[in-house]
A and B are shown apart, each in its own frame.
Chain A
Amino acid sequence: MSISLQLYLLFAKISLFTFGGGYAMIPLFQNELVTVNGFLTDAEFANMVALAQMTPGPVGLNAATYVGFNQAGIIGAAAGTLGLMTPSFILAVLAAIFVKVFKDNPTMQAVLSGVRPAVLGLIAAAVIFFADTSVFSAPLRNMWTAGASFGICWPGLLIFAITIAMELSGKIHMLWTLLVAGALGALLLA
C-alpha cells in the first residue's frame, strides 16, 4: 500500500472517531501517529500541536497537513488532509439532507451521553500528555515505575501558572499568551 493511501486511510479513521474536535483529537492523534505508526516522537508531536495552535485553521487539519508533508511531501499532505475531511464531509452532507433524522435522534443522544464525558476524560489526559513534556521533567507514569525518576520542571510550571493568570484575566488574545510563553521559555529554560 502506498504511503499516501496509508495516510489517507489513517486520517479518515481518526476523523471518524473524533467527537468535539480540537483538543479532543490530541489523544487519538497521539495514539495513531506516535504509538502505533511511529511517524513522530512524543516531543515532536507536542511541538506539532504547539505549532498548529499558533497558526490559523483547525488543529486537526494542521496536524494532518504537517504529518502528511513530513512523510510524503505535498502529495502526502494532500492525502492526509483529504482523509481527515472525507468522513466529516460525507456525514455532514447526509445530515444536511436528513436533518430531521439526525436532529434530536434519541439513539444518537443516548450514544453521545456516553461519548461526551469520555471525551472530557481524553481531554484531561491530553493535559497530562503535555505536562509530561513541559511542566514535568519526566513522564508522570514514571512515578509508578521502579527505578525511573519523576520531577517538576520549575520554569515550565511558572510559565503554566502565568498562562492561567493571563487567560483568566480574559483580556489577552491567545496568540499573545503563546508568544509570552515562548519568550519566557527562551529566557528561563536551560
Chain B
Amino acid sequence: MIIIMTTPLTDHHQRIWTLFRVFFGISAVALGGGLAMLPIMKREFVDKRHWLSNDDMIDTVAVMQSLPGIISINMAALIGYRVAGLAGASAAAIAVALPPFITIIVIAAAVQGLLQSPTMGRIFHGVRSAICALILLSAIKLAKQILVSRFAVILAVIGFVVMVFLPINAIWIIVLSALAGYIYQTISRFRQQATPGSAS
C-alpha cells in the first residue's frame, strides 16, 4: 500500500517543487510581471516537461484576462492547479508573492530614512516623471486595442474625466462600467435578433 502510494506522491512532490522554483525565479527576476511571464511558463511546462499542452496555455490566457486581481497570482494559481492540483496552485502563488515580499521589507526597513533626504527627493521626482511617461505609453498601446467602438470611447472618456475631476472611488467606476457593458451588449443582441439578416 505504501509503495503504491509513494510513486505518484514523489512525482507530485517533484511537480510542486518545480512549480515553486520556476515561479519564484520568474517573480524574482521579472520587473512588472504579468503577461511577461507567459513565454517562460510555456518553455518550462509545455516544451521542457510536457506537463501542459499548448491548448492548456491558450485556455489559461483566455480565462486569466477575464479574472480580477493580480495577474501573476491568477496565472500562478491557474497553471499550478493544472500541473498539481490545489497544492500546486498554492505553491505557485506563494512562490510569486515571496520575492517582492522579501525585497520590499528589506528596502522599507533599510531606506525609510533615506527617502526623506533632499537628494533622494530629487531622484524620486525624476523617476516619477519617467513613470508618468511609461504609463502614458502603455495607455496609448492599450487604447489601440480597446477603443474599437464608439461605446468603448465614451466609457473610457467618462472613466478618465470622473476619476480625475470628481471625488468618486474607482471601485464605482468599475462596477458601473461592468453594468453598462452588460446592458449595452444585451440591447445589441436584442436588436440583432429583432432584425434578422441585417449586417452588424
Contacts and interface: CB of A to CB of B under 8 A. Distances in A.
Given A31-B169, A160-B133, A93 B77 contact: yes
A46 B129 CA distance: 10
A65 B100 contact: yes
A124 to B, nearest CB: 5
Contact of B86 (A74, A93, A109, A117): A93
Interface stretch (B1-9, B12-20, B141-149): B141-149
Interface string A57-68: 111111001100
B70 A84 contact: yes
Interface string A36-77: 100000000011011111111111111001100110001001
A123 interface: yes
A57 B99 contact: yes
Interface residues of A, number: 112
A47 B128 contact: yes
A81 interface: yes
Contacts of B181: 110-115
A30 to B, nearest CB: 8
A121 B156 contact: yes
Q: For chain B, which range describes its interface: under 10, 10 to 19, 20 to 34, or 35 or more residues?
A: 35 or more
B158 A127 contact: no
B131 to A, nearest CB: 6
Contact of B129 (A65, A125, A134): A134
B182 A77 contact: no
A174 B134 contact: yes
Interface in A152-169: 156-157, 159-161, 163-164, 167-168
Given A99-B59, A115-B181, A134 B31 contact: no
Interface of B: 27-34, 59, 62-78, 81-82, 86, 89-90, 93, 96-97, 99-101, 103-105, 107-109, 115, 119, 122-139, 142-143, 146-147, 151-153, 155-165, 167, 169-171, 173-182, 184-186
Interface of A: 13, 15-23, 26-28, 30-32, 35-36, 46-47, 49-62, 65-66, 69-70, 74, 77-78, 81, 84-85, 87-89, 91-93, 95-97, 99, 102-128, 130-131, 133-135, 140-141, 144, 156-157, 159-161, 163-164, 167-168, 174-175, 177-178, 180-186, 188-190
Given A133-B128, A181-B130, A183-B123, 9 more contacts: A28-B170, A56-B100, A66-B108, A92-B67, A108-B66, A115-B177, A118-B155, A118-B158, A188-B126
8 contacts: A21-B71, A23-B135, A31-B171, A114-B181, A125-B160, A128-B164, A167-B133, A181-B126
